[in-house]
Amino acid sequence: MKFISCLLVFMPFWGIAQNPDTKQPEDRPAQPGDRSDPQKARFVTEDIARFWEAFDSAAVDTADAAALLKSLYLDKGTLGLKKFNEVGIKGVDALAAAIKKYRPYYESVRPRTLQIATLEDTIRKSLVKMKRLYPEARLPDIYFLVGDLNAGGKSEKEGLLIGAEVNCADDNTDFQNLPPAVPAIFKALGFAHIPSLVAHELVHYQQSYRFTDKNVLAYAIMEGSADFIGEKISGRSVNIVPRIYGDAHEKELWLEFEKDAHTDDLNKWLYNGGGSLERPGDLGYYIGYKITEAYYRRSRDKARAIKEILNITDFDAFLKESGYGRQFE
C-alpha cells in the first residue's frame, strides 16, 4: 500500500511517495468510440463480481491465491482492469498479499462494492454537466475495479479507473491490520463520495497543461482546479478535510505556500494524505482550489474561464491573473 491516488490517502510507512496521476495530453491518444456523448460513456462494474469470485476461490485454496486471482480476475478482466493492474495494483502478488493481510476489510466492504452500479445515474449527470460547462469535453468510460487498497482513482487514456474497495468503507467496516490513520480517511471517502471522486478524475481527463516547471504551484493548481470544477459538476466537495482546515487558516497557509510555490517539494503540499492530527495533508489541493476559484470569480466570461482553467500554459500568469493572495498582503 504505497499511496492512494490521485486523491488522498497516504501510506507513508509503505515508503513510496506518490506520483501525480495526470498525464500530459500528448500521452493520451483518443480512445476508440465516441467520447463526446455523455450518454455513450460506459459505466463498467463487471470486474467487481469477478474479483469476488476469485477472492472466494483464493480463500479456499490459499496456496494458489495469486494464480487464482490471475486466472479468474486479472486475465478475464476488462481493458480498464488491465491498466489498473499496471498503474494501481502493480501486479498479482501485491493483490494476493493485500487480500491475505486485509481479508476482514475486504469482506466488510463487499456488499457496498456490489452496489456501485446504482450510482450510474448520479455520475452520468456529472458527465452531462461537464459537457455543458466545456463543450469540448471528452467523456471516457468509467471502470470500477478492486485493487490492493492503493489506488482511489486514476485518470488514464483507457478511462477513469476507480478503486471500489477504497471507496466503500463506512462505520461497519472492519479495519483490522490496517494502519491506525486509515479508518478516518477511508470513512471520510465512502460510498456517497464516489460521484465527486469520479468528477475530480473526469476533470483531470480534460486538463491539457503545459508544465514548464513541475513545481508546487503547478501541481496545486492542477489538483485544486480538478476539485473546483469537479465540485461544480458533481455538486459536492471531494476534499472536505483540507477545506475545513484551510478555511480556518487561510492566510497563514497562503504565506507558507507562497514560499514553497516554486520548489519541487510536492509532498509537503500534495499526496501526503492524512497529515497529522494538528494539520491535515493535501493542503495544496485547498490552495489550488482557492486560486482557481478566484480566477473564475474575476472572469467575466465564465465559459471562457472554464476553458482557460483546463488549458493552462503558464501557472505563474494564472496565479497573477487570479489575484489570489493579494488580500493577505
Q: Where do contacts with Zn ion occur on this chain (CB under 5 A)?
A: 6, 223, 226
The distance of Cα 262 from the centroid of its chain, to the nearest Å, equals: 24
Taking residue 212's Cβ as centre, other Cβ atoms within 10 Å add up to 11
Q: How far, CA to CA in Å, does 204 sit from each of 118, 121, 172, 208, 223? A: 24, 21, 32, 9, 8
Between residues 73 and 205, which has the closer beta carbon with respect to Zn ion? Answer: 205
Closest CB 71 distance from Zn ion, rounded Å: 33
Closest CB 65 distance from Zn ion, rounded Å: 32
**What DSSP string runs through 103-153?**
HHHHHHHHHHHTTGGGGHHHHHHHHHHHHHH-TT-----EEEE--SS--SE
Cell of 322: 487570479
Peptide bond into 168 cis (omega under 30): no
Closest CB 6 distance from Zn ion, rounded Å: 3
Between residues 77 and 246, which has the closer beta carbon with respect to Zn ion? Answer: 246
Cell of 104: 476482514
Between residues 141 and 201, which has the closer beta carbon with respect to Zn ion? Answer: 201
254-259 long-range contacts (CB < 8 A, ≥24 apart) are 254/287, 254/290, 254/324, 254/325, 254/328, 255/328, 257/216, 257/220, 257/283, 257/284, 257/287, 258/325
Between residues 1 and 4, which has the closer beta carbon with respect to Zn ion? Answer: 4
Between residues 17 and 49, which has the closer beta carbon with respect to Zn ion? Answer: 17
Between residues 6 and 116, which has the closer beta carbon with respect to Zn ion? Answer: 6
* Beta bridge mates, 164: none
Q: Are 66 and 94 in contact (CB under 8 A)?
A: no
